[in-house]
Structure 1
Amino acid sequence: MGKDLVAAAFSPHDRVVFRRKVRRCLDVLADMLGTVPFQADGPTAGLEIEINLVDADAAPAMRNAEVLADLGDPRFQPELGRFNLELNVPPRPLSGDGLGEFEQDILGALLGATECAGKDECRLVLVGMLPTLTQDHVVLANLSDNERFRALDAEIAGARGDDFRIDIRGAERLITSSDTIAPEASCTSTQFHIQVAPDDFARYWNASQAIAGIQLALGANSPFLYGRRLWAETRIPFFEQATDARPDEFSAQGVRPRVWFGDRWIDSILDLYEENVRYFPPLLPELNEEDPVAVRDAGKIPHLYELRMHNGTVYRWNRPVYDVSGGRPHVRVENRVLPSGPTVADLVANAALYFGLVRRLAEDDPPIWSRLGFAAAEANFRAGARDGMEAFLTWPGVGEVPVSTLMLDVLLPHAYAGLDLLGVCPTQRDRFLGIIEGRCRTGRNGATWQTAAVRAAEERGLDRPAALREMTQRYLDHQQTNEPVHTWPC
């Protein structure tokens, strides 16, 4: 969720100055896009993976500080809850064996983390929402010891001025509330980053929005929360509700939520940053001494700290990122749609599908976003999250069809073509997209496996908590094999 804050208490003056600096940063970025060479050597990809810690009974283990201290690996960072970690996988080109190298890097990092976690009597699990979580686990006392997280909690809860109310209607219904954002720690995701030239950004972002519902339907892995079976990807509605900073009056007036799909296709990365300034008040007005105008005028590259800090508190499902590495600026799309897991192989298969599809669709003529209404893309997003492998999605030229039919008949060839354009090794291309095809032909992803395994346990006489514990233990065993979830026996 970002770097630590220097300070966690802000004055009204801080907020005024911060707003001014964000606007100044935005002006500088607009100027840079036309005058400064950005890194644009071909798409480079990166991954972030959020992880849960569990104890011997598959319940959440509040020990991330101890595990991180033992591990001493800068690739791992704490996440919101004390039972969460995040793994940042170093970026690389996708050409050649890039996808396979991602898989090996992740497996190697997780092996080291697993050994350290074992010393603290806990294990690592990659899953969208930990099935054994209860409301007693996601309380303020179980936030990680991090100033940023506590500042976010204070700011979002203060802006709302009321409890966060959750009402999710799925196969079952969950109604609950919280006075803290701590329940958001229930949501563990995988984030894909793709670095592109600034002139290409809008096409890649639009393509990412267009396929978000497809990603969710095929990659859903969060069917249970607090003992209830809800959506295939419950993480989506839960995250939206558990961090909604709007008072009810603002929501009724149509004020935009900070967890946001968006409401239009874009023409430039600036469209998104300008929306951030126009629609969202600062949450964490941390000021940096950098003067972006002076840095630019001196012929150097500004980091645009305030712009980046503000952007980090607007939780778009596809988010713009400006960054500087090696003294050169770059922009990238951060795809935040998918859950963690089920296995590393599944996770990299999801990445292959995403990178391949957006690469191909970004060049489509006429573009997909000229033929697919934005409202239809958002409806697909909701349907994919709610119904998973059983979702019916709308696509130009084919109408409303089952997601497996859409993938096998229309989009999988596009993904193959996109990976070819990226120079991905055919062996890696075929292996990872073959996993996606396997899900479509079997109708099984993480959500359907979890649901079937719990149903089978309940039919044998276990109550729901015992069935969830047993299923999570089996899930952990299967995860360690790295065999894709569509091959797991129920």
Structure 2
Amino acid sequence: MTDLAELVTRSLDPATREEFDARVREQTDFLYGQFEEGALDNEGFAIGLEMEVYAVAGQPEDGEQVVQPTEGSRLHQIPGSIFEDTDAVSKELGLHNAEINTDPNTFDAAGLDAQATAIEMETRKARAAAGKEHCALVLDAMWTIPPESGAVEYLSATTDLDGVRLATNMRTDPRYVAIDNDLLERTGGSIELSVPGVEQSFPTILLESLATSIQPHLQIPQTAAFPEYYNAAIRTMGPLVALASNSPFLPADLYGDVADPERLLDETHHELRIAVFEQSVNVTPNPKVRVPPDLDTVTEVVDHVREDDVVAPFLSEWLDADSGSAYTDNYWEFEHKRGTYWRWVRCVIGGDPVDGAGDERSVRIEYRPLPTQPTVADVVGLQALTAGLIRGLVAADHPITELPWEAAESAFYAAARDGLDGELAWVTADGDRTADPDEIFAEVFEYAEHGLEVQGIDGASYLDPIRARWRAETTPSSWKKARVREHLEDGLDFQQAIERMQREYIRRSRETDSFAEWL
């Protein structure tokens, strides 16, 4: 642990920042050269996925090997042994969090099938490993049933190690601890959360561990075309977040006594995950979690990271861990800085080779605004919708990028706030500006299907579970709100209503194949 404190102290040293900045500048020159030489161009499109989950306590059912949550299950920390049992599961910020990843595949019928199979199998393996430790992994966007200690106590518990603040329930990864201490130093020691029904201060960024998300990845083979795909992706965020919304409530005990539950139900955001992430880390002069600007040229993805505010810089020689590949070792500090370039859409340079789509020298879009979904089928459906829509809009030369950036940004936050009822913005294939949700979602699914078809994929089986939401005008977040309203009518208070809803959500998410079965 002393080594941890030393690493964090060195990270916060001004001399480290000076050396770190110098290396980043040098490495950006290397990356400019890679783009200029065409070294990052590839054979074809590729796709991948990251999925974050959290854990609750569980116990084996009679005659069953799989551990199931119980009516008394609360948030549970994930033992380290789970990460030893499967390579596809990695640690996340909170001790209750984990991330399940797929290896990338070609963006074609075989590749998308492989992604669906991989996320299903790895989720099963992770749940089996968790079951050995009497906890159950939950596919959800935000935990709302706190541990016995309570949400504020759990998220606020800290200790001091040689002048370094350690969040008790955060992983003792040097990078996480350094980020926490760096951001807290800028705020005077507290992080403020302000959302409908809750005004609360926390002495650590562990607040961010409330939120879990999925991140589809789309590799673009020709780097010169990357800005077109990237700018189109920005304009899809409003509609896709509206369809995916799944986090209308914080941990129930954060609300205290609610004088007007119906009003709070109306005012709470469909995607509180967005506000939680932004407020937990947006304390630098230039907010780090936000909608990124459009690109004119692909090399601007390098410029934007280089110019971003520095948080918790590390130097490559400090750590023994592999950076990922020999190629990314050429720009280790730049890649470390990109790790805190928390835009809702961002570019990743380098990655795993994909047979038929290229080597480790590549560029891809990491699409970050989507919450984790109730089931694997819903997760894969959103992955197909996201990749298919971005691909389809560009392949069809759709004029979506004529939508002003400001309108796309406004639509994104409207969707986070109001879900399917949010004021969205779109430009139709005919070039007309529209806010009509019928027109918008008709094109969303039409061009997603087109993008999948261009890649040789029959997309119906993947998209139908998500399309069912639009037809029923019901998303996971609106389902959650409706259940809480029913429980309030049955006489429960606001906290009790959230917890009852959440237990039903957890049960259904484990017993059904997709959210469409809940409609």
Q: Same fold by TM-score, threshold 0.5 exceeded?
A: yes
- Distance, in Å, in 1 between the alignment partners of 2:495 and 2:79 is 24
SS at match of 2:486: helix
CA distance in 1, matches of 2:496, 2:318: 54
User: Could you say what secondary structure the match of 2:9 adopts?
Assistant: coil
- 1:209 maps to what in 2? 234
Residues 426, 433 of structure 2: 8 Å contact kept: yes
**13-22 vs 388-397, greater mean Cα deviation:** 388-397
Bigger shift: residues 451-460 or 189-198: 451-460
Pairing 1:403–2:437 present: yes
Contact 1:53 1:64 in 2 (8 A): no
Moved more, 270-279 or 115-124: 270-279
Q: More deviation in 279-288 or 346-355? A: 279-288
Q: Residue 251 of structure 1 corresponds to which residue in structure 2? A: none
Whether the 8 Å CA contact 1:94–1:422 is kept in 2: the answer is yes
For 1:82, which of 95, 99, 102 is the aligned residue?
A: 95
CA distance in structure 2 between the partners assigned to 1:205 and 1:300 by the alignment: 23
SS at match of 1:342: coil
Question: Which of 257, 260, 264 is the equivalent residue of 2:290?
Answer: 260
* CA shift digits 1:351-407 (9 cap, x unpaired): 1110111001223536422x1000000001001111112223111245443535421
Whole-Å separation in 2 of the counterparts to 1:102 and 1:117: 22
Q: Report if the CA contact (8 A) 1:78-1:86 is conserved.
A: yes
TM-aligned CA distance change 1:445 to 1:64, over 3 Å = farther
Task: Give the one of 153, 175, 178 matched to 1:148.
Answer: 175
Give the counterpart of 1:420 among 450, 453, 477: 453
Superposed, 1:251-330 pairs within 5 Å as 255-262=285-292, 264-288=293-317, 303-325=330-352, 328-330=360-362
In the alignment, structure 1 residue 31 sits paired with structure 2 residue 33 = yes
Letter matched to residue 470 of structure 1? R
Give the % identical residues. 28
Does residue 350 in structure 1 map to residue 367 in structure 2? no
Residue 236 of structure 1: aligned partner: 274
Corresponding position of 1:122: 135
- 1:135 — aligned with what? 152
Output one character per residue of 1:443-490: Cα deviation in whole Å (capped at 9) or x when no partner.
11110111112222222222233322222222122212343213315x
Superimposed CA distance per residue, residues 215-255 of structure 1 (whole angstroms, 9 cap, x where no aligned partner): 11000000101325521011001110111223xxxxxxxx4
Deviation at 1:196, TM superposition (A): 1.2
Change (3 A) 1:238 1:61: same
Residues 167-221 of structure 1 show CA distances to partners (whole Å, capped at 9, x for unaligned) of: 123xxx3211112101100010001111113222211211110101111100000
CA–CA distance in structure 2, aligned partners of residues 469 and 421 of structure 1: 44
Does the 8 A contact of 2:306 with 2:334 survive in 1?
no
Residue-by-residue CA offset, 1:19-60 (whole Å, 9 max, x unaligned): 011011111101111114325121101100000101142321
- Structure 1 length-normalised TM: 0.88
Write the distance in 2 (CA, Å) between the matches of 1:467 and 1:373: 41
Residue identity opposite 2:111 in structure 1: G
Counterpart position of 2:163: none
Which residue identity is paired with 1:375?
A: E
Q: Secondary structure at the match of 2:350?
A: strand
Contact 1:303 1:324 in 2 (8 A): no
Please name the residue that 1:105 is paired with. 118
> CA 1:328 to 1:316, structure 2 compared with 1: closer, same or farther past 3 Å?
same
Number of residue equivalences: 459
Could you tell me which amino acid in structure 2 is paired with residue 243 of structure 1? V
Q: TM-score, normalized by length of structure 2?
A: 0.83
Q: Secondary structure in 1 aligned to 2:172?
A: coil
Q: Does 1:375 align with 2:375?
A: no
**Does the 8 Å contact 1:207/1:362 carry over to 2?**
yes
Question: Which of these residues, 465, 468, 482, is aligned with residue 435 of structure 1?
Answer: 465
| Matching of residue 196 in structure 1 with residue 220 in structure 2 | yes
CA contact (8 A) 2:155 2:202 kept: no
Deviations 1:316-363 (A, max 9, x none): 101111125457411111111101111111111111110111001223
Deviations 1:51-91 (A, max 9, x none): 0101142321023424334xx21111111111100111111
Going from structure 1 to structure 2, the CA distance change for 1:305 and 1:5 (only over 3 Å counts) comes to: farther
Deviation at 1:105, TM superposition (A): 1.6
Query: Match of 2:80?
Result: 65
> Contact 1:5/1:148 (CA < 8 Å) preserved in 2?
no
CA RMSD of aligned residues (A): 2.4
Which residue does the alignment assign to 1:252? none
Q: Of 47, 51, 61, which residue of structure 1 is paired with 2:49?
A: 47
Q: Could you list the runs of 5+ residues in structure 2 that have no partner in the other structure?
A: 58-69, 157-166, 256-264, 320-325, 354-358
